[in-house]
Amino acid sequence: NSGIKITADEDAEKLMYQAAHYETVASALVVKMGHEINPEFKIGCMMAMGPTYPATPAPQDVMKAERTMQAGYWLADIQCKGKYPNWLKRYFERHHFALDITEADLNILAVGTVDYIGFSYYASHVTKTTDNEPDDYMTPGQNPEVKNPALERSDWGWEIDPVGLRYALNWFSDRYDLPLFIVENGLGAFDKKDADGKIHDDYRIDYLRKHIEQMELAVDVDGVQLMGYTPWGFIDLVSAGTGQMDKRYGLIYVDKNDAGVGTLKREKKLSFDWFKKVIATNGADLS
């Protein structure tokens, strides 16, 4: 998203951090301006949340999972807390990244913090240490080959983890103490018409129901401030992640496949009427 091109003789990591800094300053300036226009404006940020668990109780795996979470949400640290996390400042020092970060920039970051966090949640991840990992390995990431034996997976191998949503809500709430908004949550699947010509996507209803139940626990039991919930998505469209039409998330089926064949006719799936009922009852009826 930086809009920059990196040449072979440039330090790609340093350049991306510099670009990210400029982006966070620009974002903070917009938030500051919005609040000056109207102090009642509520301005948020957007994060892609996928909690990372350690593969084992081994301390090194626990530490790697923690570092993975740190690496994944340092931008949220800046946008919500108004400052760089200590571990990242030390990382810049250790790697001799002399970035263009001015005192004026830091002052803007401090005052241009967001009012809430919007985030997407689809799945959780599991990570495990490997031999000879450096102590300052900053971006360990998720290891696709490390599967969670306690969870089922979607058609695309994503872990289906409703409790992970409650974990994510608590993690954000404890770390930033801000209102939260779940703006994406859904199941990508191969939807096929049954003999009656309809799409009985009970698996999607089950996915959404279990996630909404965990969301309610986060609010009623854990005290999370939750502004709202919107599933992904309302209608089938080309998946941004894989470029596929057959990877369907919608409550409405669109007659078009990966080969581009189809009439684009739209039809309600079983999940459409189910979610309509959920909205009408404000979540009281999830049956």
pLDDT at residue 247, rounded to an integer: 97
The mean pLDDT of 35-45, rounded to a whole number, is 98
Cα-based angle 76, 176, 94 (whole degrees, multiple of 5): 50
Say what percent of the chain tops pLDDT 90. Answer: 85
The mean pLDDT of 178-182, rounded to a whole number, is 99
Q: Report DSSP state, residue 268.
A: E
Domains present along the chain, CATH in parentheses? 12-280 (3.20.20.80)
pLDDT at residue 214, rounded to an integer: 99
The mean pLDDT of 55-74, rounded to a whole number, is 92
Q: Known catalytic residue: 184?
A: yes
pLDDT for residue 5 is more than 90 = no
Mean pLDDT, the chain, rounded, equals 94
pLDDT for residue 145 is more than 80 = no
DSSP letters, 143-203, are -TT---TTSEE-TT--EE-HHHHHHHHHHHHHHH---EEEEE----B-----TTS----HH
The mean pLDDT of 196-225, rounded to a whole number, is 98
Q: Which of 23, 152, 184, 267 is catalytic?
A: 184
The mean pLDDT of 83-88, rounded to a whole number, is 96
pLDDT at residue 106, rounded to an integer: 98
pLDDT for residue 140 is more than 60 = no
With cut-offs at 50, 70 and 90, classify the pLDDT of residue 2: low
pTM to 2 decimal places: 0.94
The mean pLDDT of 112-136, rounded to a whole number, is 89
Q: Are 123 and 159 a contacting pair, CB within 8 Å?
A: yes
The mean pLDDT of 248-270, rounded to a whole number, is 97
- How far apart are the C-alpha atoms of 112 and 163, rounded to whole Å? 33
Cis amide prior to 188 (ω within 30 degrees): no
pLDDT for residue 120 is more than 80 = yes
Q: Are 146 and 126 a contacting pair, CB within 8 Å?
A: yes
